[in-house]
Structure 1
């Protein structure tokens, strides 16, 4: 009896010319699924590595490895049927009757209903999502990536809408809202053991391959594909994988391996790659929250305009509708960052009514309003001329959003929506002291600072950073804190973000009170006199603060969620005369050290974050401001986040390419002498100059910003604003166009 293998063969690697034997294979043969998966650039990477280092992927250990013995071999009389189809210009043979292995949501003629190969079953297969990720990973253009994801989302909305929620969470590698803190907590070694158990491979071999490729997901996929399979387990579904991941997050220890194994042995093609990456917390496809929300908005419009989808011009024809839908969706998400609420609502209600069904409420953190940096009092005068303004001391602490819900439960969230409630049990214990009236629920915006109880004064941020983050015993707390409240966003069931600051402040003072050393209102001064502003700035510095926050009181004075608004300006004490503010930049690469720095990274490539394009743009190389201990600590931390090559969303010039690339996981505060146009760096390119970006001159490291994620780094628009605010730039602009002088005068 003939034995049939229901396996997915390992792609053959290209070998050097001198090793080639026999006749050249035809183009048709080279594109068959047995030789190369369609749209699979990462496989090309591993093949190249294997040809140099491990030849046919066989190691001495692997030669003696036993075949995996999970299931008996399937015996049939015929091999799996194949069918020929076309992806773009690539002709390929499908190994699956339904065409699952060649599903391509990036197709120019994609139809959300007709091309959803799972429509007969009505349950979204995990392979469809994995194929979507695979295509996105290999796509360079941001707009094309979003459009591809929107095609898949639209198909899910039409065929299996109940699967949309798990699809959304898996696309951003989350299992629940970020503030719930649900994490998988799976170590790389645990995953390697699970792969070994499922494939019969040697642990040393898996480690070696991971070191070569820099991606355990690719290694897992290759190991799974080269494995001779027995009875094929049931196909994975999005719902099933999402549910299993939540189970894994809820258990601890070695019992995780069993659950991982159960899913991994059922993985087909790129499912293995993205399942393992999900467990690692690094999906590597470049889809961030804003891109996902845009893709959802486009998918909604495509669903409503299904008759036009055959032209693939929906985005062009209905661009205004898409822009409006995107704005409504993003605005709703800012006040209600919970897909468990938003996704059912967009499936059930009109987008115009979405905000009514997804209201803000305590226990769910808002994205905070942020301020624009400014260089001096003269800029405040230019921006707020004729307006009523207030100046508040800018405290050197940790931004905190404090919530009280109707059940009397207190929650404390960071500026990144991280749940810090466990970190401050002392604040919760004395939370009732701040209430002046019978308040049932509230959301306060505040700053938590370290407090010297004996001297009754603020301590530096470095002292606050020494507090434990988890398992804090209130009896063992050494660093005391005081909360400085500066805004009220919600009270007794009513949202206040659309109210002007003057009204929000009035309600704050009516319902809350100060308690010495525990709760204070931000020290404030309402004035339009710039001399008074300057004097108040000096007083804030003497009070151990960073400077001032200058805000409008009545005009344009709403709370702009998740925006860096010009209605709030920050005036810091330590600005440089020409730049204005420090920058918070992401570390994306490292340069090997020489001399005293041998064995560590001697320099680093930093980038700002372009919110519009969701990419990291290089802004400078930095090698100063570090002590030897700094370099050692940076090297130890960043060496754990090395990647095999630059991300598709890194924008840089080859002349500044580092020796090593890093995942964008850490933000540094950096100062510089000034900003200048650069032919090699890409920060804010296209904003100030069409061909040149902006770079920092004489950058120096200040500190690690542990309170900021990479996406909260200094934005490209901010970099452009800081460049244009420099005196020499403004003077040059005025000298180059005499008409500007007349316009400024009148």
Structure 2
């Protein structure tokens, strides 16, 4: 890698050109180690020359404008960007649209058309800090003339762009860099850059240096999982060093951490085999919405979703009821819970579909039609002390000690300890009768710490729907639809679904689905999907262009659906997890069936390619090769 083009004077602002040059180098390779090396080199230079700009560099690498949990988004549609590019280049919007249709990427079009409009006085070069500042200003623009104001600010940035800057600026505004730069890679590069900034580390032998870098990455990732806020972590890292980060950046109420997740299992015997010599506990798996409830010492209450969205406005009834569920002396905490729909008259749990009818915004407690009961199953922080490093047995004991069950409002997750398969089966049956999904089985003492953001094998889920079948449902993104015929005339008759590949930043087709829908479902889905229609597939959609599979209508990645299937197959026509199971083939779902819309998930939180590949490898003793285009199946 040639570093000359990336250099700038120490103490000066980081040029946006240096970041874009790094993006270009990353985009030109698919090798993970090479991507890591390019980004580490750039971030190390930022630390050495312009440390005050390091936070801004990280946010632009992540394509965010602030902490994820703050929920700040640019809110810029493709039409606004096309108008801005048209104004900056002096071309018509129609001409830009035509170019996008041909090239498939507005960023590439903006770069190719750069310089069509001459300026009398060339603006100063863009800096990373100035670009992030303007993006934040755009995000804050609201009101009647907001579109014109946003276009004006975007136009000023575009006019100041040079070389490849328009390409990456437009992609940042679109919300996707599409260079294969995942957050885990960014965290690792940041850790490596922070460690290598110490001259002593640079001089170490290769083996010792590798060990230091590995430890730095593990430390930084652990800290970020508990306190996902770069505005706090990066200054602390620069001041105290990475080894001391856990002392200065800890889990605290008000900053949601990514929840720990469970692995699916297909039978209770699998559970007993996995936890043969380990003490474990079984809990009801409630069918609701994951809710992380925070109480700050000031008395403020926040409710966050599994993807760190602030749900306090959706659940004002939870916020109002909270003071009655904790005992005196409890000043601050973080609870991991499930909010479920609750029938106050019959005193029982209602299906998730009932909960999904609740409004998400501008909800008044007095107007709530669907009541909820909160079932708490873990305590992550209490009275100034993080508890994630404690055993589940300790966390549960503190949960029982400090909280009060209030019928129909707040309860502790029902649990039992046994190694008798018949007792566990009875407990599972009771859970299902009580309108729960099944059981969560967790280690209780040994290896039972809470691991944020990790899908751990110390937590297993046993759902009623798949005890003898496919290991889990899939959360998939809708990227296309097929026009309905016969009884489905006037709505979409079938849909093309995709999983998300985080490494490649692309959507990979996994199945065509047309079952599991009621007539009412199809009418509703047609109405909710239509606003997300796009004229052509995104450049980062991976699918087979054939008469049988190419949709009549394409959608921007937005809607996530939960889908069940009978089996998984290696497929010559679908691209999910391509290369993970077979070098040239992907994985597809056999006999997929729609279950429900996942309103609690963003598109990028759909089932990822790695999960699809893992399920296919470990879940089956044979593989079906399906020639889906011709409808012929072969078994190996």
TM-score with structure 2 setting the length: 0.87
Indicate the residue corresponding to 1:153 in structure 2. 43
| Contact 1:601-1:635 within 8 A present in 2 as well | no
**CA separation in 2, counterparts of 1:711 and 1:591?**
19
Indicate the residue corresponding to 1:49 in structure 2. none
Q: Which piece of structure 1 moves more, 548-557 or 485-494?
A: 548-557
Deviations for 1:567-622, whole angstroms, at most 9, x for unmatched residues? Answer: 111111111623232222344x5475585579987655544456677765554444
Indicate the residue corresponding to 2:421 in structure 1. 530
Pick from 237, 240, 253: which aligns with 1:362? 253
Indicate the residue corresponding to 1:93 in structure 2. none
Shift of 1:307: 9.9
Distance 1:319 1:615, change over 3 A: farther
Q: Which has the larger radius of gyration?
A: 1
| Contact 1:376-1:580 within 8 A present in 2 as well | no
Indicate the residue corresponding to 1:165 in structure 2. 55
Shift of 1:657: 7.7
Deviations for 1:476-527, whole angstroms, at most 9, x for unmatched residues? Answer: 2211111111110000011111111111011001100011111111111222
Unaligned runs of 5+ in 1: 1-106, 731-746
| Contact 2:6-2:21 within 8 A present in 1 as well | no
Is the counterpart of residue 506 in structure 1 residue 397 in structure 2?
Answer: yes
1:269-668 correspondence to structure 2 within 5 Å: 269-304=163-198, 318-575=209-466, 577-587=468-478, 589-590=479-480, 593=483, 604-609=495-500, 618-626=509-517, 628-629=522-523, 632-633=526-527, 636=530, 638-640=532-534, 642-646=536-540, 658=550, 664-668=557-561
Distance 1:619 1:187, change over 3 A: closer
Shift of 1:393: 1.1
Computed over aligned residues only, the root mean square deviation of the Cα atoms, in angstroms, reads 3.3
Distance 1:210 1:675, change over 3 A: closer
Indicate the residue corresponding to 1:704 in structure 2. 597
Shift of 1:448: 0.5
Indicate the residue corresponding to 1:244 in structure 2. 134
SS of match in other structure, 1:430? helix
| Contact 1:336-1:366 within 8 A present in 2 as well | yes
TM-score with structure 1 setting the length: 0.75
SS of match in other structure, 1:411? strand
Indicate the residue corresponding to 1:131 in structure 2. 21
Indicate the residue corresponding to 2:626 in structure 1. none
Distance 1:507 1:485, change over 3 A: same
**CA separation in 2, counterparts of 1:638 and 1:387?**
49
Deviations for 1:375-409, whole angstroms, at most 9, x for unmatched residues? Answer: 12111111122332221111111000000112111
Shift of 1:688: 5.8
Distance 1:576 1:696, change over 3 A: farther
Deviations for 1:339-359, whole angstroms, at most 9, x for unmatched residues? Answer: 001111222223222211211
Is the counterpart of residue 227 in structure 1 residue 103 in structure 2?
Answer: no
Deviations for 1:416-460, whole angstroms, at most 9, x for unmatched residues? Answer: 111111211111111101012311100000000111122221111
Distance 1:618 1:220, change over 3 A: closer
Distance 1:434 1:399, change over 3 A: same
Is the counterpart of residue 174 in structure 1 residue 64 in structure 2?
Answer: yes
Distance 1:553 1:192, change over 3 A: same
SS of match in other structure, 1:133? helix
**CA separation in 2, counterparts of 1:673 and 1:173?**
37
Indicate the residue corresponding to 1:116 in structure 2. 6
Shift of 1:717: 5.2
**CA separation in 2, counterparts of 1:217 and 1:688?**
33
Distance 1:174 1:466, change over 3 A: same
Unaligned runs of 5+ in 2: 624-636
Pick from 217, 221, 224: which aligns with 2:107? 217
Distance 1:279 1:322, change over 3 A: same
Distance 1:181 1:307, change over 3 A: closer
1:188-207 correspondence to structure 2 within 5 Å: 188-207=78-97
Q: Which piece of structure 1 moves more, 372-381 or 207-216?
A: 207-216
